[in-house]
Homo-oligomer: A and B are copies of this chain.
Amino acid sequence: MMKINSTNVTWHNAKVTKTDRQKLNNHKSCVLWLTGLSGAGKSTLAIEVERELYKYGVRSYVLDGDNVRHGLNKDLGFSPDDRKENIRRIGEVAKLFVDSGLVVIASFISPYKADRDLVRSIYPDGDFIEVYVKCLIDICEQRDPKGLYKMARAGKLKDFTGISAPYEEPIEPELVINSANQDINSSVEQVITYLKQHKYIE
């Protein structure tokens, strides 16, 4: 923090804080960290939760492959090291967003437990909400929304989670969404209910 002279100290004390921003927004900020296989329904859930939060006047933002992989992390591939760095950066960016007062919805496969735990560790208690979007790989592969499973089976995709790279299930996620057993509205409701019960939103 910059201190030109002692008279500046009061300015710095008066810096706008996370709490100030939450007050202005009339809700708390946090990250909903959606993890799960490709095709489990993370993107759909992210988009629908954001839409529902908007109706509540809650400021939120979705971080996903679309806006991160083509920009901030366009220098990274899909090797374990690059995936680790990918998740590390996203965790740090999401933290900035939480500091700015927003409810962040991070939607990434994030297959390694250690990487997710590392992200969790940089947050104050309660700011990181791990949401396991759970779906059998057979169903994900049947859906194959991007045709990626087909490519992976044909050996055209290296390090594809669930086929040629591991997915490590969360041990104690704050929420488990069984996307194959319920419709999208029920899943959204489950997330919103959690946020209300834990006083993030009203």
Contacts and interface: CB of A to CB of B under 8 A. Distances in A.
20 contacts: A2-B39, A2-B41, A2-B146, A3-B145, A3-B146, A4-B39, A4-B145, A11-B48, A15-B51, A16-B47, A24-B54, A24-B57, A67-B99, A71-B95, A71-B96, A71-B122, A93-B93, A93-B96, A97-B97, A100-B100
Q: Bin the interface of chain A by size.
A: 35 or more
Contacts of A41: 2, 4
Contact of A97 (B42, B71, B92, B100): B100
A72 B92 contact: yes
A102 interface: yes
A143 B4 contact: yes
Contacts of A59: 21, 24-25, 59, 100-101
A1 interface: yes
Contacts of A2: 39, 41-44, 145-146
Given A2-B44, A71-B96, A93-B96, 20 more contacts: A2-B43, A2-B146, A8-B44, A11-B51, A14-B51, A16-B50, A16-B54, A21-B59, A21-B61, A24-B54, A25-B59, A59-B59, A59-B101, A61-B100, A63-B96, A71-B95, A72-B92, A72-B96, A97-B97, A100-B100
A89 interface: yes
A109 to B, nearest CB: 12
Given A16-B50, A41-B4, A51-B15, A96 B143 contact: no
